[in-house]
Structure 1
């Protein structure tokens, strides 16, 4: 059988640089795109486990997904060198109907966009419907993105932030002023006291938990973003024990591959019994909180579905706004 090109009726491949992504990013659009994707039935085959090829001090990770809402499918490739201490991120989007390569996108910022937007989606569904009191542990880009995105979709009444570095927490607080009632505090316990929402986006140098479950107020919604590997810790077993429901974007990865869950299970916490998928929460198939006093936890490890859905939203906005570079040549879909 000879491969023959399909008649060229597809749009040119669009390249979006890191600067393009920065100018196109919109929190509300990102959250809405994720809500649509998670509301559709998704099979395991559509979002398979990530894979990694390793060399001597270098690795290439691949995350692929076919979003159930249609449009595009895609992959995120991460090339990293531990020796050179650098990494490159590339997202490729293919049209689900024509198989054409619609876009190549610098994925540097996409991880931060999808992490924050997915967390905001979860909080919007889990937290009480009122102006929220928010505690933040961490003052890095993940914490900044999570708070910035949350305040774009929900009314935030008050924020307290803790970072072990006083200058970092003061800078973080100042970056949200004016317009937000935010205070930098001296301890993590002070940051989360009496809060409706607790955002954890930090880990200690020795990987001891930065959040103690004993500090949490009744009815708190906890978001854990900073620990995604077996050797990493962020919340203690008491946090996972007090949670009546643990919502996860990738339940099996959270259960088996995160240090927080591994430690909780070792301490006798029945994590699997209260673990539910974010997709089930979005689709209304589960009710996470039975009583107002219940504590719930959203645990994030990240998913290719989130990357591809956010990339598609960026691509659509780029086409609308005339941004990006149309490549002079691209791959040609062939008949098979």
Structure 2
């Protein structure tokens, strides 16, 4: 009997915790359980949740998941009757293709809300006393913090009266956004940033235009984010963004953001782009602060060091503080479905001067 979690990169402590739990579930010794996978974006939390569903329900007793039995195949294609997957802006067809490539985060925005209607739809499917065909039913909530308040309250009822033979997994980047009454009921499993070795091994067969070290640094070791950066050429686009900011012209900055977003919409790669722009803005604010503080050796965007240093000579410390404030605020607004087209204007507030309001009103 062999547990195969080879699709999960790194996370050796997580695998050690999950192994006895999977064995208990395969032996049907647990009635129901609520798990919370928390940690940084794009380090394998959602992939792990899918792999557990396959391992528990796999029909092969020698090696599981075997990837060959009907249970494994149906779960891999997200077509299993006992698998319920909730995620922001889900596109099922694209997700099936993404699952085949091991690219589970590619086609949804982690900033969009999951609504109460989706929770109620799952609850209607759980009226049965037993799973259809597997050992357990799995409810996997991608970005569980994106359940709005009404949805979280509705889900709380499910946790208070758990359904038999049911495993619920919340995949969470920001556990502090989960209601305490939900958070306290979960068995929590922490995911860490990937070590550089595991990260670089994933990309060693890919011909990159830049070093893996740089990619690791600007994505904090997130494979999910790194794949998105490669697909959208965002690594190179950061240079254009920085140049646009250095022009101190909100219209130029807005045009650069829009042209890139429109390009990615046409190529089908637009999900997450506006969020990446905001994240770069936040990292730029941090780098500007560090350079002004005399510690440039620890900046994130090391390939842009010279240009960031030049920009730091042109702006004041209070403008950098304003950048940090705006970054925090917009990161929250994105979860409230704010119109993306106004974000470049808001990002430019610290540099705008008197002309900013006129440009904004003319939009």
Q: TM above 0.5, one fold?
A: no
Larger radius of gyration: 2
Quick one: higher RCO (CA 8 Å, sep 6+), 1 or 2? 1
More helix by share: 2
State the TM-score, normalizing by the size of structure 1: 0.32
Greater share of residues in strand: 1
